[in-house]
Amino acid sequence: MVRLASESRQRKVVFLLLDRFTMIAFASAIEPLRLANQVSGRELYSWQLASEDAKDVACSNGTVFRTDIGLDELGRDTMVLVCGGIDVAEAIDKPILNWLRREARRGAVIGGLCTGSYALAKAGLLDGRRATIHWENTDSFSEDFPEVELTKGVFVIDGNRVTTAGGTASIDLMLRLIARDHGEELANTVADQLIHSSIRSDRDTQRLSIPTRIGVRHPKLAQVIGRMEANIEEPISPAQLATEVGMSARQLERLFRRYLNRSPKRYYMELRLQKARNLLMQTEMSVINVAMACGFASPSHFSKCYRAHYQTTPYRERGTSGSGEREAPDATLAGDAFGKDD
C-alpha cells in the first residue's frame, strides 16, 4: 500500500458518455482511478457516469451503459471528461454544448477523450488552446476548428482543458493527473498494476514512426514520405522531393518501387485521396473545397482520381445527390488516373 499525506486531496470525475463512445478510451481512464483508490487504501477519486436526460448509452461495440446523472449542475471541483467515439458530430446537440459551457464558466476542468475533443471545440472551449484528437480525425478537426492548436500528442494538458488521442492514451493522461495529485510513487504503482511498463508524456506522438508504419527503415524514404504528408494541399513535385534528399528523380522512383511497389507520384496521390475521404466522411465541406484542400485543381480531376481508387465518386461517397451539389461527369477508369507511368 502506498502511503500518502493525510491532507491528500480528493477529486470527483464525471464521465459524459456520448452515443457510440469508444469503450477502450473510457475504460483506460476510469481504471487508473479505481486502482489509485485500491493501492492507496483511500477514496482519492470518485466518479459518476452522465448522459443527456440520464438515459442509457451504447458504446461503439454495442455494450450499453447505465448512467447516474443527466446534465446536472456539478460541484466546483469536479472534472468533466467527455467520452466520444464514432460520428461524434451527430452525438452532440445544443443542450450538451450549453452544459459544457456552463460548467466551464463555473471553473471545472473539462476534458475530451478520443473524439470527445470535438465536443469541447464545438462548444468553443478550446479556442486559442493546444489540444489533440485521434489521428484519424485530425484532418476534419483542423478544417472545422482552425482556431485550435492541434498537436499529434497522445494527450495534452492546457490549463484547465485536457484532451487525449483515444485508445490507451487515457491511461497516460490519468497517470499524469494522479502523479500531480498524489505523487509519482502512486502513479508508478498504478502503472505497474495495469502492466503499463512505459508511461508516455505529452511529448510522445500518437502514431508510429514512418519507418515502423511502412515497414521500411530507409531514412531518405521516410524523409520524403514525411514531406508528402505535410504538404497535401500544395503537393511537391517528385523531382523537388528527390532534390531535397540528395537524389535524382530516377533514384527516387527506384526507391519507391523497390520498397513500396508504386511510384512516388502514385503514393502521394493515395495520401491525398485518403485525406479527401476523411474530409468527405467527417465534415460538411463541399466536394469542391475538399478537392482544393487535397491539392486538386478541378473537381473533375478529383472525381476521376477518386473513382479510380475507391470505385465511387466523391459525390456518391458524400451522398449529396439532390443536395445542391452537381456531380461531375463520370470519368472513365483510365489507367493513367495516377499518371501514365503508374
H or E stretch at 13: strand 11-17
Q: Minimum mean pLDDT among 83-97, 135-149, 205-219, 321-335: which range? A: 321-335
- State residue 214's pLDDT score: 78
pLDDT at residue 323 is higher than 60? no
CB distance 213 to 207 below 8 Å: yes
Q: Minimum mean pLDDT among 72-76, 97-101, 173-177, 258-262: which range? A: 72-76
Q: Minimum mean pLDDT among 69-78, 126-135, 201-210: which range? A: 201-210
Helix (H) and strand (E) counts for the chain?
A: 15, 10
Tens of pLDDT along 263-318? 999 999 999 999 999 889 888 889 999 999 999 989 899 999 999 999 999 988 88
∠ Cα 130 136 138 (to 5°) = 30
Residue 1: pLDDT band (50, 70, 90) is low
Average of per-residue pLDDT across 57-67:
97
Amino acid at 176: R
Alpha carbons 274 and 189: distance in angstroms, whole number: 41
Backbone angles phi, psi at 313, to 5 degrees: -90, 160
Amino acid at 114: C
Alpha carbons 49 and 17: distance in angstroms, whole number: 7
Burial of 327 (0-12, 13-18, 19+ CB in 10 A): middle
pLDDT at residue 230 is higher than 70? yes
Burial of 310 (0-12, 13-18, 19+ CB in 10 A): middle
How much of the chain, in percent, has pLDDT values that exceed 70?
89
∠ Cα 101 95 90 (to 5°) = 105
Q: Minimum mean pLDDT among 1-10, 13-22, 104-113: which range? A: 1-10
Alpha carbons 45 and 34: distance in angstroms, whole number: 7
SS3 48: strand
Q: What is the pTM of this model?
A: 0.73
- State residue 26's pLDDT score: 98
SS3 190: helix
- State residue 6's pLDDT score: 53
Which are the contacts of 98, defined by CB distance < 8 A and separation ≥ 6?
none
- State residue 139's pLDDT score: 87
- State residue 4's pLDDT score: 64
SS3 149: strand
Rg of the chain over CA atoms, in angstroms?
23
Average of per-residue pLDDT across 79-100:
96
- State residue 75's pLDDT score: 84
Distances (CA, A) of 88 to 46, 71, 116, 127: 26, 18, 7, 19
Residue 224 has, within 13 A of its CA and on its CB side, a CA count of 30
In 3D space, the residue among 271, 272, 245 whose CA is nearest the CA of residue 260 turns out to be 271
